[in-house]
Amino acid sequence: MNTGPQAQKSSKKQVITVIVTHSRPHGDEKLAIAMLMETSNHPFDLTKADIRLIRNDTDLDLYSDRKDVIFVGVGARLAQKCKGRVFDEHGIKDDSKCSADLVAEAVGVDGRLRAILEETRRHDKERVSAPMSLATVLKARYEQSPEAEVIAWGIQGARAIVRQALTGKRIDLEHKEEILGIASVAYQEIGQQQTASAKLSCGDFQKRVFEHTLPRFTATSQSGLPTDIGTIFLAMSTENTANAHKWLFAAAKDLVMEQIAFLNALDDFVARHERIVIANGIGGPVSVAFIKSDSHEMIRVFRNKKAGGYDVLIQRNSKGQVGIFTKQGNHPARGREFNLDPLARMVRWAEMSASRRTPHGWWKMGADGDCPDVEEWFYFKKGGSLMNGTKSRPGTLSTRLTDDDLAYIVRCAFSVGGEAMFMEENRVNEPRMSRVWDKGNLRPSKR
């Protein structure tokens, strides 16, 4: 996947032939790569660089000894060995930064990119993004189109807004009215194909798709947000109108397909999900939905009011991987946050036991992000979720926990006094003070 010409190049620069990032790179990685390509205040020549994806941490070893490689969003453990070529926020103490921030610091980008960086950082760290932001649309496109195509599309858009910001070139607002027209053409084309969904020929279903998709394009044409695809389209239109139309049309088609997938998932959820009610839940009754599905739209369905107002979703895919989700960490009926640390501890502890590893380090099991002893589960605290395999890490080993195991753990995690009950029933006899972690005083527990 060639990344195209850099803004300026020098024979004295270090030639980079590979940019390594993770599967399905996010908006911050796209912006980081775009800034490296569109600026010259760094020691790299990226004119011949290709994007390479790693599926797990061990893949990094394939590139660790090479001097022609840059790491974006991955490679924290190689920071010393590959000094100056690793832009991975996961290995730094300041968890408020994203990979784009690290590149901005390295290349000395000034305040002209401040608004774009701030919005990108918020999307990445808080998972709060506008419906038509580049970060949001990337997620939709990954589900509908080849990964390599979407990565190239995202970098193309990110480079356009970086160029516009650095040059100060005024956006051509004359093209604003074209946005809704492009979306309408995309909708009509998919409708005519009649292959996107058997239901699409149904008038009621077609109306639901139309009503949910086109208003988003009306909004993006008026938002003016720095990373909205409408803003990017207008920035691209000042350079090449035909390319801008092609770029937006690709997004429009996938967003229509996304809405079709969402409505199908909603119908599937309503028909097949199982319900668990935890009567003595923390803060009141807690309702849990469980479903087996490969649809990536189930999280959106769960957070939609038409799904029935559940507090927790457990989704298992056909590979056996599981995601446990709440509504952005908030109990919807009472406006209070769930503390998912106990859930993370219980799931990881049980995973170790199920895989015949001796569980240890109870309090460490609630660590946000990765847990070195239990690589099967990633805890995203701000997003209110615990995931066994993510879109960026599809190769994660499937959990050994059964559906009954998960139901038991969720009941304990969301019940009053449930953590103490779990610890007693599973013989968790470890000190409660976290300061003993580094003293080697933890006593391993067994079932």
Instruction: Indicate the residue among 268, 295, 318 that finishes a domain.
Output: 268
> Do 113 and 146 have their domain in common?
no
DSSP bridge pairs for 315: 291, 323
Instruction: Indicate the residue among 268, 292, 315 that finishes a domain.
Output: 268
253-273 average pLDDT score: 91
Confidence of residue 211 (pLDDT cuts 50, 70, 90): low
pTM score: 0.76
In a domain, 446, yes or no: no
> Do 67 and 151 have their domain in common?
no
List pLDDT tens digits, range 44-55: 999 999 999 998
Length of the chain: 447
> Do 102 and 208 have their domain in common?
no
Query: C-alpha distances in angstroms, 258 versus 139, 196, 223, 226, 399?
Result: 10, 11, 21, 23, 28
d(CA 117, CA 227): 9
Other beta carbons within 10 Å of 255: 26
State the chain's maximal CA–CA distance in angstroms.
69
Confidence of residue 64 (pLDDT cuts 50, 70, 90): very high
145-158 average pLDDT score: 96
Range of 63's domain? 1-125
Quote the mean pLDDT of the chain.
84
> Do 422 and 299 have their domain in common?
yes
Confidence of residue 214 (pLDDT cuts 50, 70, 90): low
> Do 14 and 151 have their domain in common?
no
In a domain, 181, yes or no: yes
222-248 average pLDDT score: 87
In a domain, 261, yes or no: yes
List pLDDT tens digits, range 98-110: 999 999 999 887 7
> Do 168 and 151 have their domain in common?
yes
Confidence (pLDDT) at 202 = 57
> Do 256 and 280 have their domain in common?
no
In a domain, 64, yes or no: yes
> Do 258 and 245 have their domain in common?
yes
Total domains, the chain = 3
* H-assigned helices in 2-146: 27-38, 99-107, 114-126, 134-144
> Do 37 and 152 have their domain in common?
no
Of 133-147, 158-172, 201-215, least confident by mean pLDDT is 201-215
Confidence (pLDDT) at 91 = 72
Confidence of residue 1 (pLDDT cuts 50, 70, 90): low
Confidence of residue 441 (pLDDT cuts 50, 70, 90): very low
Query: C-alpha distances in angstroms, 444 versus 161, 189, 423?
Result: 53, 61, 13
List pLDDT tens digits, range 368-424: 988 989 999 999 888 889 999 877 677 789 999 999 999 999 999 999 999 999 999
d(CA 62, CA 43): 23
> Do 313 and 423 have their domain in common?
yes
Confidence (pLDDT) at 210 = 60
Confidence (pLDDT) at 207 = 63
In a domain, 445, yes or no: no
> Do 21 and 92 have their domain in common?
yes
In a domain, 192, yes or no: yes
In a domain, 323, yes or no: yes
Q: Find out whether 79 and 90 touch, Cβ atoms under 8 Å.
A: no
Instruction: Indicate the residue among 77, 94, 125 that finishes a domain.
Output: 125
Confidence of residue 201 (pLDDT cuts 50, 70, 90): low
> Do 312 and 341 have their domain in common?
yes
In a domain, 77, yes or no: yes
